[in-house]
Structure 1
């Protein structure tokens, strides 16, 4: 380890070439499917420009994200307003910006869209349980199949175009079963809608595709069955097309899947210490310069892999609780992590697989710790 502390610039680095390759791999797995990047996962202009140049659109959660996407060169026709929670003003602003596709899941929202975005297209989000995902996204969003029929029938009567259905099986979905259940609900709803004379033009499979680089809260690598997930998706697409009996486009909204494993936080050690806990046990604690409030928000559910570039090969390691620099007890990783014993203040640390949500979840400066600056490497010349 370093004998003298050397200043390390904390920063979040995105690998644009890696993100581009991940996008290309996704299209190879799901040919013909339209991609609408979930902007909330990585609201970085360079990433948006890269994906827009490859033909991707954007899943936006509000007028501010719509404005950013337009500024980055995403055409309005490839942006949809994917948030079912939106005010009258939000709807009107989005419509003024050229957005014509809106997610919905309630009759009340449909009536607001009809009033403030007349003639728009709407797609209805079906509820899912979120089982199998690290973040389930249940309860707040979506409706049952029979309610979706009522919502889209109301949309048609209000002069809107009932255009599609959507699902979201939860963020970092670790099973293929979740998509199988979603396809069953989609098939049921498509059939019921046809019985009402409503023929849709697309199905949106939402987000949920997992990243591969995380560890669980005990440090073991997560191992989502990605090959099986893609096989289930392809089978489900074929089944819905056959059931529909006419042209039916498909959309996906990847966020984490595209960017998580292609972002690295470069941070440094604040202090390695040994403290006695309330249970009387002595524990190692590793305090980092970056934590929950300035980039690593998702430590509630996962471990970010840590790399110590200055640690010599074969360095003795200990199990430590890892925490950020703030005076908030929530600013800590779950579980224990294996780290070099002889870490010193100022030693560099790389936090891998931190490209998703790190930028969007940062505070403005909790405890005076500034949000991380970001840098992008690679990409078009």
Structure 2
């Protein structure tokens, strides 16, 4: 698999000259490759792209054309996809705790698949979307995940039978179960444990008169990170094998987000200030913690930098963003080649939980996004080959 889109130095320089900095460059071809890789290694699994990872319209439309379904978490996401012409049948409202506005939008747009993990949610859904198809989210602890979502969501397995009964009594269509092992989970272990738990719960439900037909195995599939080697094909093979073993007759869904979009976007940022502070080198960039680098806080992500400097010894440096907030510090003691004012930096693999969580704090606009396939004609053929790997 070509698992990452990465611009060449020549492309970075030309794009910055043409469009300015900071700049996000999205490869829709990489989005296609990532989707097709998952489809190949999880055959028969219906993929629901987690829109929250990156809701860019180019990504959503590309995936829609490939046959993807979508995991939406709010009225805003449902409405945005509806406005793009995406059918409600291709969406699951996968927020276990839904707002009144979200449920009203689901009813109005025709979205009729939901997740829940508590008794209080049952009556809300039964009133707003009577007869809706529901999946009960099961808690599966995984402290090894980069972001352990089960600290906030998921019903304890012991509570599942009663919650299923209450949902049935409320007139909801109890379709199945779902789980999420957490974000950037780098081994199959947590998935295998969750599948065993869900198999037991499916069997217990059958004894109680349920015919559960859907299992959603969530997302969390990892992308390459700093100092981290991942055998993603092997990992998906293990998951697929367990799915076929435990659920050969069940409709299987998955909700990839980061894996689809994370490696498909590059950031071009520029040094706008340099100084020595407290005996350490500081560099100020034109994108920061309130912008694309929001993933440092919200996603605990450590970004790789490509400075295109060669033959120079790396030095520890502090990197800060452009805002007037002292919180806007990206890294401390990050080893990097010495930089100068106006130097360009390439940040690959920054497509997930970056622009999606960026703000306009301090009056700084969100970083512009362009599509690589729409601008690569600016480059000679030899440069095109070097620019996307």
Same fold (TM over 0.5): yes
| 1:259 partnered with 2:261 | yes
Please name the residue that 1:268 is paired with: 270
Q: 1:226/1:366 Cα in 2 relative to 1: closer, same or farther (>3 Å)?
A: same
Please name the residue that 2:37 is paired with: 25
Once the two structures are superposed, residues 304-326 of structure 1 have per-residue CA deviations (whole angstroms, 9 ceiling, x without a partner) of: 111124x3x32343221222222
| Cα distance in 1 between the residues matched to 2:179 and 2:326 | 35
Please name the residue that 1:233 is paired with: 239
8 Å Cα contact 1:145/1:188 also seen in 2:
no
| Cα distance in 1 between the residues matched to 2:273 and 2:100 | 49
Where do residues 8-19 of structure 1 align in structure 2 (5 Å cutoff)?
A: 8-19=20-31
Pick from 59, 65, 81: which aligns with 2:93? 81
Please name the residue that 2:296 is paired with: 299
Please name the residue that 1:333 is paired with: 330
| 1:61 partnered with 2:73 | yes
Please name the residue that 1:182 is paired with: 194
Pick from 275, 284, 289: which aligns with 1:287? 284
Once the two structures are superposed, residues 55-93 of structure 1 have per-residue CA deviations (whole angstroms, 9 ceiling, x without a partner) of: 001100011101111222322111010001112332122
| Cα distance in 2 between the residues matched to 1:348 and 1:324 | 14
Q: Where in structure 2 are there 5+ consecutive unaligned residues?
A: 1-12, 378-389
8 Å Cα contact 1:36/1:58 also seen in 2:
yes
Q: Where in structure 1 are there 5+ consecutive unaligned residues?
A: 216-220, 277-281
Please name the residue that 2:354 is paired with: 358
Cα RMSD, aligned residues only: 2.1
| 1:222 partnered with 2:228 | yes
The structure with the largest helix share of the pair is 2
Please name the residue that 2:314 is paired with: 317
8 Å Cα contact 1:176/1:225 also seen in 2:
no
Please name the residue that 1:218 is paired with: none
Structure 1 residue 335 displacement after superposition: 4.9
8 Å Cα contact 2:125/2:132 also seen in 1:
yes
| Cα distance in 1 between the residues matched to 2:205 and 2:331 | 46
| 1:376 partnered with 2:371 | yes
Which consecutive segments of 4 or more residues in structure 1 shift more than 6 A?
none
Where do residues 193-208 of structure 1 align in structure 2 (5 Å cutoff)?
A: 193-208=205-220
Structure 1 residue 96 displacement after superposition: 1.4
Structure 1 residue 361 displacement after superposition: 0.5
8 Å Cα contact 1:303/1:333 also seen in 2:
no
Structure 1 residue 222 displacement after superposition: 2.1
| 1:348 partnered with 2:341 | no
Deviates further, 162-171 or 282-291: 282-291
8 Å Cα contact 1:37/1:253 also seen in 2:
yes
How many pairs were matched up? 358
8 Å Cα contact 2:293/2:330 also seen in 1:
no
